[in-house]
Amino acid sequence: MQLSERQKELLEIIRSNSYISVNELAEETFTSPSSIRRDLTKLQNLGLVKRLHGGASLTESDGSVAGFYRRATKNIKEKRLIAKKAASLLQNGQSILLDSSTTAGFLLPYIAKLESPTVFTNNLETAVGAINLGIQTHCLGGCAVNGSVSLGGAQTYKALSELNVDILFFSSQSLSRDGVISDSTEAENFVRMLMLDRAKRRVFLCDSSKFGNTSTHTLTTLDSLDFAVFDRPFEGLETKITVI
């Protein structure tokens, strides 16, 4: 399910428009219309776009594979900066737990540079990426959450109950000004709760688009964690932990 750079670019362009034609996409990406059609066919087969009247629009199911790829191609610059900062917490030989967030997945190139790291994750895409980089990888079992690449359910819970890892990197949808971390997806939120209990050090990764927001399901608070990593300062944030 890997996307090419052009396909990711197409998703970004389509996201900015309720509808855009094949010819317009071809002009914006300096690509032939026939190549654009092939890319749109792949994106449609993955459930990421809808082909309509010679063009395309985004699908709308945020819990699906489409939702994952929209998150994966959103705020990329910020997520790369966060991963670069968070990499300072990595050490050789660590057991590293990565949650289902796309932000955590940006750490893989830095983990690959370590000696003898081991990665555990409930994200299928992250697991494949880690394997491709030659990292010792354990994919936590379970079923797909809302048809996404994130795994949850009894098998995932059991696998987590048997783990003791050195460090957890995780994200969530919202961070309020008083330091409360929350998410709108109950199943993923519960998996993260279990992850927090299985790690010696816990690191929250959060890009600035999530600052000042609150979602339905509370996960934890910043003061109960070890580190937080942001792409820029969160003015007025109330917390005692170290912010990188």
Beta strands in the chain (DSSP E): 20-21, 49-52, 55-58, 95-98, 118-121, 136-139, 143-144, 151-152, 165-170, 174-175, 180-183, 199-206, 217-221, 227-230, 242-243
Q: Tens of pLDDT along 200-209?
A: 999 999 999 8
What was the pLDDT predicted at 68?
Answer: 54
Residue with tokens 């990197």: 169
Q: Report which of residues 75 and 242 the model is more confident about.
A: 242
**13 C-beta neighbours (distance < 10 Å), count:** 15
**Proportion of the chain above pLDDT 70, given as a percent:** 90
Cα–Cα distance for residue pair 135/99, rounded to 1 Å: 16
Name the residue type at position 155: Q
Question: What architecture is the 5-60 domain classified under in CATH?
Answer: Orthogonal Bundle (1.10)
Q: Report which of residues 238 and 242 the model is more confident about.
A: 242
SS3 of 2, please?
coil
What was the pLDDT predicted at 114?
Answer: 96
pLDDT at 147 over 80: no
Q: Report which of residues 102 and 17 the model is more confident about.
A: 102
pLDDT at 77 over 90: no
165: phi > 0 → left, psi -120 to 50 → alpha, else beta; which?
Answer: beta
User: Side-chain half-sphere of 58: how many Cα atoms within 13 Å?
Assistant: 22
Question: Which range, of 63-77, 129-143, 185-199, averages the lowest pLDDT?
Answer: 63-77
Mean pLDDT of 23-39: 88
Mean pLDDT of 3-25: 81
What was the pLDDT predicted at 67?
Answer: 53
Residues ≥6 apart with Cβ < 8 Å to 232: 208
| DSSP classification of residue 168 | E
Q: What average pLDDT is seen over the chain?
A: 87
Cα–Cα distance for residue pair 96/138, rounded to 1 Å: 10
Cα–Cα distance for residue pair 198/232, rounded to 1 Å: 28
Q: Which two tokens stand for residue 232?
A: 């820029």
| DSSP classification of residue 236 | T
Reported pTM: 0.72
Question: Which range, of 61-75, 103-117, 176-190, averages the lowest pLDDT?
Answer: 61-75
State which CATH number among 3.40.50.300, 3.40.50.2300, 3.30.750.80, 3.40.50.1360 fits the domain covering 76-243: 3.40.50.1360
Please, which residues bridge with residue 229 across strands?
A: 205
Pairing mode, if any, of strands 118-121 and 95-98?
parallel
pLDDT at 104 over 70: yes
End-to-end CA distance of the chain: 32
Q: Do domains 5-60 and 76-243 have the same CATH topology?
A: no
Mean pLDDT of 143-171: 90
Sheet of 55-58, strand order = 20-21, 55-58, 49-52
Where in the chain are the domains? 5-60, 76-243
Mean pLDDT of 104-124: 94
